[in-house]
Amino acid sequence: MHAHDHPRLTGTRLRWITRGAAALLLLTVVGWVLLFQGFLDLHVYRTGGLAWRTGAGLYTPAFAAMVPGMPLPFTYPPFAAILFAPVELLPWHVAKFAVSLASAATLALTTTLTARRLLANRAAANALGMSVAALWALFEPARQTIGFGQINLILMALVTADCLLPRTRWPRGLLVGVAAAIKLTPAVFVLLFLLRRQYRAAATAVASFAACGLAALLLAPADSAQYWLHTLFDPGRIGGLAYAFNQNIQAILVRLFPENTLLWAVLAAAVMALAAVAARRARDDVTALLAIAAGGLLASPVSWSHHWVWVLPAAVVVLVRAPRWSPVLLVFAVGPHSWLPQTHDLEMHWTWWQHLLGSSYVLVSVAALVIMAGNSPSPRIVEQLGRRSRPSRSGDTGGPGSGTARPVASGETEDVIDTVR
């Protein structure tokens, strides 16, 4: 049955798919929280809020001893600890559900917004986006994020909303700056604004980041000074770079060539240049966003596998644009690195085939960037980059969120509708 044959019936079916997927998303996340006893990173977040509230010090050796379960340091900027303070005041089980449900809701926002930027049929977009979100447990990065009580899905939604919404009620760039003030790595998306010549959005992101940092300096002066002057530059603050769950260029080099600082710097710059080319040649603003996300993950010295939650909106793009490549997503379902010898530097002794499997996220992402960079530039993107469009209410000047994505026309949605039925 084609979408245009029975539009009312098809729309009804798609709405029921959306509702069913939303229910499945809720049930699976609640079930995961009830069955899983980890949430180690949530313990760190709550301890960070407690340390800031009591003046115990975020970056002292004593902090790790305060963390229940496992002694771990606080590695985020002080601004993050201030935001975590209300979470620390909640009872433990309430906090687990609150963070997990917030992650589920923001994941649904990300995948649905991604689908809406690609599909003209709103009902099909909602059904596809919610269905991908509901299948979160099939993706290792999402399983790790929910299981650790991480905030990756929340930060991803902040960036996605800032970059992809056609119009925003806030100055575009504001949420990217806030996300970067919480975890630094989202700062890479300023590059996307610059590539799109959204200079006002880029400046807004920088100003937002600086304002959050200034607020933290006023509220946590000692911790801010310690972080920005010392902790940030401590290479040992994050953990073992060779660890199997570290999926980036640096991790591969550490496992093969322990002394690699210069080589890593060169390759990190090269992969970001590749991501920039891929973003400029992308067919739509969604793919451009994902190219920069992949580049940032690859170039960062630390990209734990749970940071790779960008594979979920990428799955939406694959299902719409290139469904024949969907089997590649199995790499992110299996998480091959998790099945290999690990910890205690066992990764340093992997065989050649273990190195290949253990670097699967990196290899797949580099290959995707190479393919995207080799594409002919989209005429729409070329036109967008060659002129400045009318500023929107959010003050941007085109690019992501300004209509550069070409939604699939209603006649082209049949395959997508078949996918989500």
- Write out pLDDT tens, residues 220-248: 999 999 999 999 988 677 778 999 999 99
Provide, rounded to the nearest whole percent, the portion of the chain with pLDDT above 70.
86
Q: Are 167 and 394 in contact (CB under 8 A)?
A: yes
**For range 293-317, the mean pLDDT:** 97
Q: Which residues have CB under 8 Å from 397's CB, separation 6+?
A: 197, 198, 199, 200, 201, 388, 389, 391
Q: Which residue has the tokens 């809406």?
A: 116
Determine the residue type at 221. Answer: P
- What SS3 state is found at 88? helix
Averaged confidence pLDDT in the chain: 89
Q: How many CB atoms lie within 10 A of CB 226?
A: 17
Per-residue tokens: 328: 């590649």
Residue 408 forms beta bridges with which residues? Answer: 119
CA distances from 64 to 47, 163, 349 (A): 9, 36, 30
- Which of 168, 75, 161, 152 is CA-nearest to residue 116? 161
Pairwise CA distance, residues 11 & 413, whole Å: 12
pTM of the model: 0.89
- Tell me the pLDDT tens digit for each residue of 80-104: 999 999 999 999 999 999 999 999 9
**For range 105-123, the mean pLDDT:** 97
Is residue 376 pLDDT above 90, yes or no? Answer: no
Is residue 392 pLDDT above 50, yes or no? Answer: no
Say which range, 43-47, 116-120, 373-377, 398-402, has the weakest mean pLDDT. 398-402
For residues 32, 33, 38, 43, the Cα torsion angle rounded to the nearest 10 degrees is 150
For residues 188, 192, 197, 200, the Cα torsion angle rounded to the nearest 10 degrees is -50
Confidence of residue 62 (pLDDT cuts 50, 70, 90): very high
Pairwise CA distance, residues 256 & 419, whole Å: 42
- What SS3 state is found at 107? helix
Pairwise CA distance, residues 104 & 133, whole Å: 8
Q: Would you state the pLDDT for residue 395?
A: 45
Per-residue tokens: 369: 């960037």
Determine the residue type at 241. Answer: L
Pairwise CA distance, residues 242 & 264, whole Å: 13
Exposure class string for 49-60: b at 16+ Cβ within 10 A, else e: bbbbeeeebbbe
